Chain A
Amino acid sequence: MPIRDLFRREPRAGPDIPANMWVRCANERCRDLIYTREFEKNLRVCQKCHYHARLSARERIEQLVDAGSFQEEWAGLLPGDPLDFVSAGQSYRDKLAETQQKTGLPEAVICGTGLVEGIPLRLAVADFGFLGASMGSVVGEKVARAVERSIETRLPFLAVCSSGGARMHEGIFSLMQMAKTAACLARLAEARVPFISLLTDPTTGGVTASFAGLGDVMLAEPGALVGFAGPRVIEQITKQKLPPGTQRAEFQLEHGMIDKVVHRRDLRPTLARLLRLYGASCAIDGKGA
């Protein structure tokens, strides 16, 4: 008998516990076991440490808009490969196919209309699971179309942001999406249609430095990392360890970069209140969607 078999733990016999009945809080300093049903009921926020777990775009939409009100737009936009980019032996096309299969998403942003406490709005929601919700041509195009349609229909626009930054694989086309989305938002501003930017963990790079950073009102979820350079880049360049809390939502609030840190359970009422206050010029009576 090999000696390591002496130490092998036999699977313990016991009641059948489904593997997903409990989840562990992803906060390194908490790691608490949470009953999954409680976790879901609490909008995937840890009840002990208030860590806001990252949400997929679908989960976010389900939490944020009134049940059954979401209508997706431009679901047929698919990424191209303008540079014939190959990384570590894998083509960008193959990487995309793999990511699409893994996530069930065609790209990193989902757009559509919906209601929040009965108030209509248009929203663009990023999914960090899709190549870090990096901004390539499709992300830029979807945000641009959403903004333009919001001008036409006078619907308030909400961006639920999250991103690692630019989509390297699309090179200069990725960079130009920053100018494209910002230019469309300049038009939205002139049309006096409100734009609320909700920054979720993490929002960095070219997305913060373009559409995400241009909200009339900037909200962030507690603990969300928000910045230009990522902490790893800053530490590499300055050879200094960043103090805890740097670039988190609370840090950005303290430095005057955002308006409010909003707990996930307060998002819907906060958005609804803002839209009622700012939406007089808009079709918030439900017409125009």
Chain B
Amino acid sequence: MRLKPADSPPGSAGLTPWERVQLARHPQRPYTLDYVGALFDDFVELHGDRLFADDPALVGGPARFHGRPVMVMGHQKGRDTKENALRRFGMPHPEGYRKALRLMKQAEKFSLPVVSLVDTPGADPTLPSEERGQALAIATNLFEMARLRVPVVAVIIGEGGSGGALAIAVADRVLMMENAIYSVVTPEGCASILWNNAGLAAEAAASMKIVAEDIWRFGIVDGVVPEPAGGAHADPAGAAQALGTALADTMAELDRQYGRGEALDIERLLHDRVAKYRSIGIFDEA
């Protein structure tokens, strides 16, 4: 499946990048567990990294997708203050990324494709995370995902913020919801770093080119999933249906390309996965 932005319904036409950021962050937008509930059966949430703690900002476990066992995981935000105190606004600590890695290695062990749903402003940037090696947890996930011996599909469902997003998004196919954003740093962070003024976030959002059409045009994502008119929050069931169709098409396409089960050509899949990231970059050579 290669949904082009031109195929998208005109729901987001005419909105500024900053308005798109507001849609990506809308508190009524479907989150990981909403999509898991709508699209997956028999989900068993697994907890803990076996090293330090369980991180409610990153959830996952085995489930069925169209009858097929898979490992599904993703960042989980909260809708109100109380839930966000628990979910920490979907910003994982190192134990979240280590739990994700544990689930991915388990998927590898039992030959389950991985479906990863990305929705975070970024990895938690506080002292406890530093003490437990946030940077190394992320680096390790990038390294291990590049050689994970099962198919991986990632979808940016809301905010694809920085290394905290990428740490569960190194995949064979990456999709992006129409009103999701994918960026190297939050617009506020960019404005603060470059212009020392987080108030210029709207300008930063435009300059960084973080909306789905731009990210797709750059070749960073393989497809854009159209959202219902008004955005995913206006019709969560419709958004889930669109994502379900896109996921099913993408997994079928991977099966056709690389085979599945015993017939999976894992070496070619891994070769292509590395080649895909290897080729990203814009530079001149004198």
Chain A contacts to B: CB under 8 angstroms: 76-83, 85-88, 137-138, 140-141, 144, 166, 168, 170-180, 182-187, 189-190, 204-206, 208-214, 227-229, 233-234, 237-238, 240, 242, 246-247, 255-257
Contacts and interface: CB of A to CB of B under 8 A. Distances in A.
B138 interface: yes
Contacts of A237: 125-126
Contact of B130 (A138, A144, A227): A227
Contact of B286 (A76, A141, A187): A76
A175 B162 contact: yes
A87 to B, nearest CB: 5
A98 B24 CA distance: 36
Interface in B173-199: 182-185, 189-190, 193-195
A84 to B, nearest CB: 9
Given A77-B285, A183-B170, 6 more contacts: A166-B162, A168-B193, A173-B218, A209-B142, A228-B130, A229-B126
B7 interface: no
A168 B130 contact: no
B133 A238 contact: no
Nearest to A206: B163
B110 interface: no
- Which of the listed residues B123, B143, B167 has the most CB atoms from chain A within 10 Å of its own CB? B143
- Which of the listed residues B140, B195, B283 has the most CB atoms from chain A within 10 Å of its own CB? B283
Contacts of A209: 123, 134-136, 138-139, 142, 163, 167
A249 B274 CA distance: 32
A90 B139 CA distance: 33
B215 interface: yes
Contacts of B146: 179, 182-183, 186
A85 to B, nearest CB: 6
Ranked 3 nearest A-B pairs via Cβ: A229-B125, A182-B142, A213-B139
Interface of B: 123, 125-127, 129-136, 138-140, 142-144, 146-147, 162-163, 166-167, 170, 182-185, 189-190, 193-195, 207-210, 215, 218, 220, 273-274, 277-278, 280-286
Contacts of B218: 82, 172-173
Nearest to A208: B135
Contacts of A177: 280-281
A80 B284 contact: yes
Nearest to A237: B125
Contacts of A176: 166, 220, 277, 280-281
Given A172-B218, A237-B126, A183 B274 contact: yes
B168 to A, nearest CB: 11
A181 B116 CA distance: 21
A233 B185 CA distance: 12
A182 B144 CA distance: 9
Contacts of B184: 166, 168, 170-172, 174-175, 206
